[in-house]
Amino acid sequence: MQSMKPQYIYRNYTVEYLFDSLHHFSGYGDVSPALDHKEQTVFYQLNPSFTPEEQIMEIEDIKSKISFIINLNQEARIAVVTLYRNVLSGWETKNNELLNAIDDFNINFLGSLISENRNVKIIDINTFFQSQNISLIDWRFFFTSQMIINPKLAKNFKTWFAKQISGLDLKRKKCIVLDCDNTLWGGVVGEDGTFGIKLGMDYPGLCFKSFQNLLLMLSKKGVILTVCSKNNVKDVQDVWENNTNNIINDTCLSAYRINWNDKASNIKSMAEELNIGLDSFVFIDDNPVERGLVKEFLPEVEVPDFPEKSYDLVDFFWKIYNDYFSVYELSNEDLKKTQQYKENFVRSETKKTFENMDEYLSSLEIEIDIFNGGEQNIQRIAQMTQKTNQFNLTTKRYTEQELFQVIKDGGSIYCANVKDKFGDNGITIAGIFKEDKNNIFVDSYLLSCRILGRDIEKVALIKILDQLITTNDKKIFAEFIPTSKNAVAEKFLEDVGFELIETEDNGTRKYAANKENLFKAKEYYKVNYC
């Protein structure tokens, strides 16, 4: 697993005040990365007091140092911070050589690094400075203490940087809950009517139309959209069906509650329907009373303040995106998520028509494709270890580089793609197995909760263990490490046929597999090894 203190390599300036005090620093003035750190952030910035010519030379020096760092350690995840794009320094407006050199560094040089080195990630510092309204440099602190960034920006920088690291870890919220009146459109549909609400055409309707358009595109990037509105359902559905300016409707929503119940209860109900935790939700509502109620009764849900002026809706969207949904890279499963949750709703409705569970499961035509972890899927597996909290036996978090190291050290990593007659859920199961001379350890086993309830989690684990057992006769051990969120997986190992051998003081349960008693998969599951 990764080191507790990520390492930061930086220029000969004072920057400790910009990072958490727990972070380990090295390389002061020189390049000396410690090889035992599994996460490194390289933070070089230009000396703001240099001439443009001197800064261009400095860029070349920084390039060579970064290349040295990357070549020295191919196993750590290395996040390289871009150079601040200083548009004010340059002798000619026609040809700003310094700006060209900075752009070449940020775009071409760093672009080539990430294309050639899977472990290298880029953090664009310019996205931080664009959101600030005070000067980047405080010259008094720069010349007296070598502070490369205005110390007044330190708190904001720490918050921003933490979000960038979360993006690298592929962590983000999963679902937006949207009000309707004065949130998705201006006015109250029950009073103004389907065509009287302010949406499209002119101000302020154009603001709401732009907001909806951004939300729709966000749903195509893997964020679940839902609606929770105090309204008559017929009024809202009339807008969905007949107002052509409205584009957020039941075709892109994964769930909705349109009634007169309190919104906290409605959100809790949708969380149960979607089978995701309340801490995955962001609630958007113009009404401060509704926001206050949700904050009080559902403290896990994020509730940002809504803008007072409709012309601020676009900025508001990008703020909630950057605060809660920004991610370094999207997987194929992210892009399909909205459709997958809609398919899950159809499965649930179909289940109600069956009295016998076996008949229902057989009717689904479930197919499980099991893959070895590798270049094609390791990003998705890493993402799952970072994000999955409910059905997760150990809740161990892994980066891509750490997973490759597991394989290099002789361990095995598997993932499974699950599909049925209603659709393809994508890669929704991951397992990490470590070995010594005599034993196999189930280090991690986890899956998306949207495929729970069909015994798929049992079938996949048994089939993976069958694959491991055929290659050796080692004993198999596993453990369950309890957290505040993974109670759904508490009895899984026992249900699948493992025997409890020890319970530690912290609640961790140790298990051994009795191969004769392991779960027997029904014939209607089709399992393929790919």
Summarize pLDDT for 106-122 with one digit per residue, the tens. 999 999 999 998 889 99
Tell me the whole-structure pTM to 2 decimals. 0.70
User: Following DSSP, what letter does each residue of 443-506 receive, concatenated?
Assistant: EEEEE-GGGTTSSHHHHHHHHHHHHHHHH---EEEEEE---SS-GGGTTHHHHTTEEEEEE-TT
Residue linked to tokens 């749903």: 219
Backbone Cα Rg of the chain: 26
Distance CA 307, CA 314 (A): 10
Does residue 366 contact residue 420 with C-beta atoms inside 8 Å?
yes
175-325 CATH choice from 3.40.190.80, 3.40.50.1000, 3.10.310.30, 3.40.718.10: 3.40.50.1000
Report the run of H or E that residue 226 belongs to, with start and end: strand 224-230
For domain 355-529, give the fold. Answer: Aminopeptidase (3.40.630)
Within 25-151, residue ranges assigned H as helices are 52-72, 97-103, 110-116, 126-129, 139-145
239 pLDDT more than 70: yes
7-168 CATH choice from 3.40.50.720, 3.90.220.20, 3.40.50.1110, 3.30.230.10: 3.40.50.1110
Please tell me the predicted confidence (pLDDT) of residue 188. 95
Residue span(s) of the chain under CATH 3.40.50.1000 come to: 175-325
Does residue 351 contact residue 361 with C-beta atoms inside 8 Å?
no
Summarize pLDDT for 10-63 with one digit per residue, the tens.
656 778 888 765 444 443 344 444 445 678 888 899 998 899 999 999 999 999
Summarize pLDDT for 496-513 with one digit per residue, the tens.
999 999 999 999 999 998
507 class by beta-carbon count within 10 Å (0-12 exposed, 13-18 middle, 19+ buried): exposed
Please tell me the predicted confidence (pLDDT) of residue 434. 94
Does residue 489 contact residue 391 with C-beta atoms inside 8 Å?
yes
Residue span(s) of the chain under CATH 3.40.630.30 come to: 355-529
Residue span(s) of the chain under CATH 3.40.50.1110 come to: 7-168
Band of residue 5 on the pLDDT scale cut at 50, 70, 90: low
**Both tokens assigned to 328:** 């370094």
- Looking at the DSSP bridge assignments, the partners of residue 498 are 513
